Structure 1
Amino acid sequence: MLGPDQPLIEFFSQPSGLSPEAENVQNLRTGYYTFSCAGKREDWIKVYVRAEYGSLMTGKPVYPQFNDRLHVSDKPLKAMRGVAIRLGWDFGLTPACIVTQLTPRGQLRVLREFIAERMGVEQFTRDVVKPQLRALYPEWTLEWDEDQAEWEQITGWGDPAGVAASDTDEKTCFSILRDEGLDITPTRTNAPIARIGAVESFLVRMVDGEPALLLDPSCKTLRKGFNGGYQLRKMQVAGEERYTEKPDKNRFSHPHDALQYVALGHNGNPGAERQSDRPKILGARGYKAV
């Protein structure tokens, strides 16, 4: 019979077969787990030998530096008061918005992911992103206000391709966000090498004994992407294994693109305007940035 405080389900994390805490080694031949690694891919070893969260891939992971046990927080990350919230945006009909904070010591904390399918950026912003931001981060404001401290403002960066105007009404993704009160600027580039490098710059560093990139456990799509879902597709050619130069477009690529844009922004985004620096025109409700 279950006790009053006993959960119905408990999760146990098995130690790596290569660690001193490896289980059941007394019933296995010497070096069993080491020999098991021979000729196996890193993703196979990660799952079946090191007992880490992951997936088996048909392609090549974009971020081999990612370590699930290291880079994923074991508890929900709370927004740090006094630190600005910055968003990363990827547009299209599968839009994604990533919520981050960069601490004064240089740790990139990925707090939330918002993802939608078959939804335009205006509806996504109005029905998904803004309500969630207001509910989760009431101490921060969405609308730019020069009288407030910079850390209280929610701003961010997005795919520079979003400056292209629609064929029907000449609106751009950035003008739509601006009409919704969000101060989002395009990054200086959307070149894959630069974007991926921006994320890698955080993955390979430690800050005060913690990883420079820390992922909230609620970011399940980003996490699966880091663990191999976001990958370079294997090319069907004879001889040596070859992979595409750009990551495969799939359900993991959109949030990872958004993460890359905000990482680029945190690493410095020269030439980008802030909403408060843009020219202003007089509208029905007073002056607004254009």
Structure 2
Amino acid sequence: MGKRAYAQEIDINWKTFIGMPVFSTFIPSIHISDTPLTPHINSQLICGWDQGLYPSCVVTQLQVLNGHLRLAVFMEIIGENISAEEFVPNTLMLINGQFHNMADNKLIHYCDPSSFNRKDTDYKTWADVAASHGASMQPGAMRFEERKEAVEHWLLRVNPEGPAFIVDKTRCPMLVKGFEGGYRYPESYESNEPSKIRPLKNEYSHPHDALQYACTGIGRMAHVKSQAPKIQRPSYEIIKQRPGLKELTLSQGLPPIGQTVTVGESRYMSINQIHKNQRR
């Protein structure tokens, strides 16, 4: 029995995925914060949004630490089978509740460019709906290669103050698990042309798409051209069991993902649960 099958059989390593991770430059011991991250009050929050029936929002901030730039990822909010009319206002409510000391004008929003496209069944676009609730959207990058590079720009750098990219482990469980292998290429990716390789569409791809839209928006700001040195790539254990099959095994644990997320002393329900409670 292979290592992956053995780990799954006895349920000691549930973070084992078939296929190569999209961000092999992510190093858990460097890029994960076990303690809650704190926003800088005088800096804007940058939110990335991915639309669809499983929409996601990721809240980030570009911080300056002793003259060095750091991208901090504070929070993920993920909906399930929910419309923009439901997801956007509830998400903004959660953001304003969590970051209540930040003024409304401290929020910048980047989204999937297709959010500006109208459907045959509705004259309103996803971006129109967001705007009606006070979230003025700007389009992120369309090309996957550009979005991936925008994230890796931060992953590959380290400052004297620490890594140039840091993610809150408690408030971003799906992003973290995606970085550690859940957000990955299909098993047969090696047989495809490099320009046609795309990650699997799964539960991890939605928050990661949202993060990428935020990062491409940040990258368009002239002052984010970080000159921090690059860090070395991590060395993951790759196991070949048969031709065409690769396994990625990661050992560091994560907290279980439930319907609620505990942030400090506050407890937040999932978006769809909030909506159900409001209907009662």
Q: Match for 1:211 among 157, 163, 168? A: 163
Measure how far apart 1:54 and its partner are: 8.2
Give 3-state SS (helix, strand or coil) of 1:107's partner.
strand
Matches within 5 A, 1:109-258: 109-127=72-90, 129-142=91-104, 152-187=105-140, 189-217=141-169, 218-235=171-188, 241-242=190-191, 245-258=197-210
Assess, with a 3 A threshold, how the Cα gap between structure 1 residues 79 and 269 changes in structure 2: closer, same or farther.
closer
Measure how far apart 1:106 and its partner are: 1.8
Look up the equivalent residue of 1:139 and give its one-letter code. Answer: N
Give 3-state SS (helix, strand or coil) of 1:169's partner.
coil
Give 3-state SS (helix, strand or coil) of 1:125's partner.
helix
What is the aligned partner in structure 2 of residue 86 from structure 1?
A: 46
Give 3-state SS (helix, strand or coil) of 2:108's partner.
strand
Is 1:265 paired with 2:217?
yes
Contact preservation (8 Å) 2:21, 2:183: yes
TM-score, structure 2 length as denominator? 0.69
Measure how far apart 1:102 and its partner are: 0.3
Cα distance in 2, alignment partners of residues 85 and 54 from structure 1: 33
Cα distance in 2, alignment partners of residues 209 and 138 from structure 1: 27
Contact preservation (8 Å) 1:54, 1:228: no
4+ long deviations beyond 3 Å: 241-244
Contact preservation (8 Å) 2:43, 2:106: no
What is the aligned partner in structure 1 of residue 273 from structure 2?
A: none
Cα distance in 1, alignment partners of residues 182 and 62 from structure 2: 25
Higher Rg of the two aligned structures: 1
TM-score, structure 1 length as denominator? 0.67
Measure how far apart 1:180 and its partner are: 0.3
Look up the equivalent residue of 2:69 and give its one-letter code. Answer: G
Assess, with a 3 A threshold, how the Cα gap between structure 1 residues 57 and 205 changes in structure 2: closer, same or farther.
same
Give 3-state SS (helix, strand or coil) of 2:207's partner.
helix
Root mean square deviation, CA, Å:
2.2
Give 3-state SS (helix, strand or coil) of 2:115's partner.
helix
Give 3-state SS (helix, strand or coil) of 1:60's partner.
coil
The farther-off stretch of 162-171 and 82-91 is 162-171
What is the aligned partner in structure 2 of residue 99 from structure 1?
A: 59
Measure how far apart 1:121 and its partner are: 1.5
Assess, with a 3 A threshold, how the Cα gap between structure 1 residues 55 and 242 changes in structure 2: closer, same or farther.
farther
Contact preservation (8 Å) 1:54, 1:227: no
The structure carrying a bigger strand percent of its residues is 2
Look up the equivalent residue of 2:128 and give its one-letter code. Answer: S
Measure how far apart 1:267 and its partner are: 0.5
What is the aligned partner in structure 2 of residue 274 from structure 1?
A: none
Measure how far apart 1:203 and its partner are: 0.3
Contact preservation (8 Å) 1:86, 1:262: yes
Contact preservation (8 Å) 1:154, 1:183: no
Is 1:70 paired with 2:44?
no
Report which structure shows greater RCO (CA 8 Å, sep ≥6).
2
Count of aligned positions: 207
Measure how far apart 1:153 and its partner are: 1.9
Measure how far apart 1:83 and its partner are: 1.1
Measure how far apart 1:168 and its partner are: 2.2
Cα distance in 1, alignment partners of residues 133 and 161 from structure 2: 39
The Cα offsets for residues 110-139 of structure 1, whole Å up to 9 and x where unpaired, read as 000000110012200122x12111211112
What is the aligned partner in structure 1 of residue 19 from structure 2?
A: 59
Give 3-state SS (helix, strand or coil) of 1:92's partner.
coil
Cα distance in 2, alignment partners of residues 269 and 108 from structure 1: 13
